Amino acid sequence: MVAFAAFLFVFIVLAYHETSLVIWTLTFGLLLIFTVAFQGVTTGITLTGIVFLALACLFNVAIWRRRLISQFLFHWYCKVMPTMSKTEREAIHSGTVTWEGDLFRGHPNWHKLIAYPVSTLTAEEQAFLDGPVETLCRMINDWDITHNRADLPEEMWKFIKEQGFFGLIIPKQYGGKQFSAYAHSQIIVKISGLSVTVSTTIAVPNSLGPAELLLHYGTEEQKNYYLPKLARGEEIPCFALTSPDAGSDASAMTDYGIVCWDMHEGIKTLGIRLNWNKRYITLAPIATVIGLAFKLYDPDHLLWDKKEDIGITCALIPRHTKGITIGRRHFPVNTPFQNGPIQGKNVFIPVSWIIGGEKQAGKGWHMLMECLATGRAITLPASTVGGSKILSFATGAYARIRKQFNLPIGRFEGVEEALARIGAYSYLADAARTFTVSSIDAGEKPAVASAIVKYHVTELGRKMACDGMDIHGGKGICLGPKNYLGRGFESCPIAITVEGANILTRNMIIFGQGAMRCHPYVLAELEAAQLQDHAAALVAFDKAVMKHIAFGISNVVRSIVLAVTGSYVVYTPAIKHKRYLQHATRFCSAFALLADCSMLVLGSQLKRKESISARLGDILSFLYLLSAVIKHYHDQGEQQDDLPLVSYACEYCLFEIQERFNDIMHNFPNRWLAYLLRVFIFPLGQHFTKPSDRLNHKISQLLMAPTLTRARLSAGAFLSPGKENILTDLEDALIKTIAAEPIEKLIKTAKHDGAIMGYTLFEQAQAALKKNIITIEQFDMFTQAEEARQKVIAVDDFNTEDLARNVLIATQQGLYADPDGTHG
């Protein structure tokens, strides 16, 4: 029995570490032989040896294995393999795999995570944030922009262009800033906390659009002509992709171009005759150059022989090209950044206007997916984080300043719970943002990670906005110059909708693309199945599938071992909160096991089982978010005061992972396998819970005072003192309120004891002063605090004529459209 136990232990260790099938079969065979031998059965030893020898030959002699095992599996795989459209294949092959690939393997190396480089600002980038960005923030009056003008003031447009805000990603050789992804993100964070309209105006030219596409795919002639003008703001770009019949499904676009000969500037030119109808195009009303995505057809084979359907193509078209209708505006939920439709009818352009020239015809979707892999990780997460920083800073102060039932509202557990969510979600969102943009600065194009961050950060932003409005109550819903939440709350659906609607991103992209790109063997199997040479396909498939089998066995063993041992056997860096990393490793193994089982059982059906796919994507996402939190905490110097935020974020992620496992197994089509998976993954039950009330209390206390944790949480937001900065007034009121709390307690105690009289707190303070219960200095502190408190809890009110007149003036001044393209 000792020998049996020893060999069983060796087998588990080998399986745990994903050893090759050769070693496994040898170990497993010896295990069988020793088991039978110690039972004293000679015949059994012989039979076991024969069985072992047969299995060893079958699995380890390549030619036999391929003929008897892999060929059968290969034929079955080809039958159940999901079909993919051209756009799906291009999306899957776009971008690169980063940390999410390690998580998908089921056994992440946490030392590798900690060692990942973290981005920092250069002196030039910091100077830009401290100079032009700071100045721009001081210029912003979001109420004036959103309510009075429905546009930026002319002087702001001029400043943005002159200071190079439209050239953040353009190299210096073309007159741009050539800033890092982290600097780009920090700029959006700072501005978006004040105005989504302004931040969107700056973000779009630096995200997915003409500049980004030209940098990666443009001809030298196109770069030299457009990039300097874009950097200087002489050209305002937009990119037109979405149309009425093609939103998330780009393959359904009806916008098309036909290759033909026609006259251009008096010369017979090979070109494209275009017809399109686009909508939701940011900056379209004022754009001077249009990036256009369309389907290209060549019925006369003027470009390439034997190919009529060229595919999705991208081109750059000047605004004043004949046949273009542009200038009208959409009005996205009271957030009046320039956005509107574009139509084109019989628009003729030279073939040379294709981005990258003729050789890039038909490669538009791949170009867009490559650029989206990075852009999606920067703009929307940064905009959300900018809002969350202001929200956590302001809501914590307001919860201490605002009083009901003779207590600051932040003392009530219901408010504590909401305030804790705001603090922890803000920390989590910022951690995910910085982790992902650092990978971009390291040269990655994180396609799956960018989808994770885009979806979850914007969803967290929506939850934080709701909690912030709940805490502020009437203060939050009454719009006006004093309201610092309303417009941000209104704009939440914009981030949810654009750059891949969140429902699509969660249900189809994160796991759908992640399973192909992040799984160590699925993409290799898929590519093998698509090879035309059957012999070569079988060899490639055999190589991948044998490793896949070993991978699957490892995850079964690892899931059980880690669940039974409480994950204590996982080796992690010697850092605080290592237990969260150990639990995460356990769930990584369980996730890899569940993902394999789902693909094996459902096959091509998994593509249509969107709810299961979405939950698998959630598990991968929460593992990524937890990793980002631990990384962020380490990179910030493991500040002791921030531990409640880290604990909340990690416990939230672990609980959500557990719930998604439950949901999948509850809805898994094969009920027997679902039961077996539950035994493998949760053999001792489920023990993860939501963050506790104790954590809620700790976090709320950190946010309701001028603590270092609160300062780190809001770092990067615009909080500079200023006459028009309501946040300055909030901080002033918070400090004065905290200083006056002991004085107010003296007054209330005296009133309770009958020593003073008064109908209002101010009258009671006056009575306390007369009876020398408080000093004149204390009375002054109390009155100053009360004045500051009343100032920040006040809301705006208007005459009906004032509200109606602002709309009328804006219409009369023509601020809703710029049909001539002369804006700014």
CA atoms lying within 13 Å on the CB side of residue 128: 23
Whose CA is closest to 401, among 9, 809, 785, 58? 785
Whose CA is closest to 633, among 625, 621, 623, 643? 643
Rounded CA-CA distance 384/455 in Å is 11
Rounded CA-CA distance 285/330 in Å is 9
What element of type H or E holds 780? helix 776-793
Residue 787 is among the residues annotated as catalytic for this protein: no
Q: Which amino acid is located at 400 in the chain?
A: R
Rounded CA-CA distance 509/513 in Å is 5
**How many residues are recorded in the chain?**
824
Q: Which amino acid is located at 532 in the chain?
A: Q
For residue 650 the two structure tokens come to 């990690």
Q: Which of 676-683's residues contact partners 24+ apart within 8 Å by CB, and which partners?
A: 677/593, 677/594, 677/597, 680/556, 680/559, 680/560, 680/563, 680/590, 680/593, 681/559, 681/563, 681/590, 681/593, 681/594, 682/563, 683/560, 683/563, 683/564
For residue 46 the two structure tokens come to 């012989």
Residue identified by tokens 């994903």 is 18
Rounded CA-CA distance 665/623 in Å is 19
Contacts of residue 322, defined as CB under 8 A and 6 or more positions apart, other chains included, come to 347, 348
User: Is the CB of residue 309 less than 8 Å from the CB of residue 292?
Assistant: no
Strand partners, 294: 313
- Give the SS3 label for residue 263: strand
Within 194-250, residue ranges assigned H as helices are 196-203, 210-217, 220-232
For residue 636 the two structure tokens come to 């910030």
The CA radius of gyration of the chain, in Å to the nearest whole number, is: 31
Out of 125, 212, 499, 786, which one is annotated catalytic? 499
Phi, psi dihedral angles at 557 (to 5 degrees): -60, -45
CA angle 609, 614, 619 (to 5 degrees): 130
Helices (H) and strands (E) in the chain, counts: 36, 9
- Strand 289-297 to strand 237-240: parallel, antiparallel, or no bridges (unpaired)? parallel
**Start-to-end Cα distance in the chain:** 85
Neighbours of 352 (CB within 10 A): 16
- Strand 324-326 to strand 256-264: parallel, antiparallel, or no bridges (unpaired)? unpaired
What element of type H or E holds 260? strand 256-264
Residue identified by tokens 């032989």 is 33
Rounded CA-CA distance 773/769 in Å is 6
Q: Distances from the Cα of 402 to the Cαs of 103, 707, 778, 790, in angstroms?
A: 44, 19, 21, 9
For residue 268 the two structure tokens come to 């017979």
Q: Which of 358-364's residues contact partners 24+ apart within 8 Å by CB, and which partners?
A: 358/303, 360/217, 360/313, 360/314, 361/296, 361/303, 361/310, 361/311, 361/313, 362/296, 362/310, 362/311, 362/312, 362/313, 363/217, 363/311, 363/313, 364/293, 364/294, 364/311, 364/312, 364/313, 364/314
The string of DSSP letters for 349-407 reads: EEGGGBTT-GGGTT-HHHHHHHHHHHHTTTHHHHHHHHHHHHHHHHHHHHHHH-EETTE
Catalytic residues, which ones? Answer: 499
